[in-house]
Chains A and B, each alone.
Chain A
Amino acid sequence: MQIDDTDRRLLRHLLAEPDLATPDLAARAGVTQATCWRRLERLSEQGVIAARQAVIDWRALGYEVEVSLRFTLDKTNPRAFDEFLAAAREVPEVIGIETFLGRVDVRLNVIARDMGHYQQIYRERILTLPHIADIEALMLIATIKESAGLPL
């Protein structure tokens, strides 16, 4: 797989402004529209661009609370990771799952309509997940920067 400077320039602009229409992206990256379109196609075929997805604003749907829950699992059980992850996938308010190497094993991104709703989810759906050794919660106050940009 060959990625040249033009590809990198295109990706840099695309990642910085993913809503740009192809003609505008071409102009920013200094290539013709045909080149831009052809290269985006090729990057998609190669899997460098893995997906383009719509962003859903959960606040606009009435989910005012977002909490990052960090779990340490009981790793004496060899199935702890698999069983925890399978159970976490069944919780509708979990919008993201990440696994880590470090002090934290798994992080769940949980949304709720308000604090009462969050408390209900936490007690009924989160504390009942299997193999939890420890939980820490970080409540989101504000997202200051959110970008998929890479220093290409």
Chain B
Amino acid sequence: MIDLDDLDRAFLRDLAQEGTLSAGELGRRHGLSQPAAWRRVKRLTEAGILAGQRVLVDRAALGFGVTVFLGVKLATKGRVSLEDFERAVTAIPEVQVVQHVLGLFDYRLRVVARDIADFERVLRRRIMTLPGVGQVEANVLLTEEARPGPLGGASQD
């Protein structure tokens, strides 16, 4: 694991907001030459800290007005049922995120749908028919907010 200095953290904070910033622009903001800024971005990428891009879209404008998080508890457990469940659930196009978790549920799913009626269709036809699925809890997403995380300001770490 590499050590980060304040400039590295500033670069990460900027890129987490605007992933397409050029090395030249990052350098201008933080008083570095373009090649020096480029070397820092390259180092952060090679260390696996900068792990690609994410595209945020206005889901509602594209006709997907509803996002629901599902907690799923499997009715039957064992290695085979986990694999069967995971294979089937990742193939559902409306399921964006599948996380295996420890706690009240076995899996957390993020599901997008056009509206509540569409969500009900996905839930009944695709989720409730998954192999091994037991109890399911749904929470409809109202707002989401990404935070910069532990990358500084001076008061942190």
**A→B interface (CB under 8 Å):** 1, 3, 8, 11, 14-15, 18-19, 46-58, 60-63, 68, 89, 92-104, 107, 111, 136-152
Contact = CB atoms under 8 A, between A and B. Distances in A.
A8 B62 CA distance: 8
A52 B98 contact: no
Query: Which of B48, B143, B147 has the most A CB atoms < 10 Å from its CB?
Result: B147
A138 B1 CA distance: 27
B5 interface: no
Nearest to B149: A95
Interface residues of B, number: 62
Contact of A56 (B49, B57, B59): B49
Contact of A89 (B58, B64, B140, B147): B147
Nearest to A137: B103
Given A18-B53, A61-B4, A149-B93, 9 more contacts: A48-B61, A62-B1, A97-B147, A98-B69, A101-B140, A144-B100, A145-B89, A150-B112, A152-B62
A49 to B, nearest CB: 6
A60 B48 CA distance: 6
A53 B141 contact: no
Given A18-B54, A53-B56, A100-B140, A149 B47 contact: no
A47 B53 contact: no
A47 B61 CA distance: 9
Given A99-B143, A147-B97, A54 B19 contact: yes
A148 B102 contact: no
Contacts of A92: 149-150, 153, 156-157
A49 B57 contact: yes
B62 to A, nearest CB: 6
Contacts of A102: 137-140
A148 B52 contact: no
List the 8 shortest-distance A-B pairs measured between CB atoms, nearest first.
Answer: A102-B139, A54-B15, A151-B93, A100-B139, A57-B51, A138-B103, A60-B48, A145-B98
A55 B62 CA distance: 23
Contacts of A137: 103
Given A53-B19, A56-B149, A150-B57, A100 B97 contact: no
Contact of A100 (B19, B62, B141, B147): B141
B22 interface: no
B10 interface: no
A34 B99 CA distance: 38
25 contacts: A1-B61, A18-B52, A18-B53, A50-B57, A52-B55, A53-B17, A53-B19, A56-B49, A57-B51, A60-B1, A93-B149, A98-B143, A98-B145, A102-B138, A138-B71, A138-B103, A141-B102, A143-B98, A144-B86, A146-B96, A146-B98, A150-B64, A150-B112, A151-B93, A152-B62
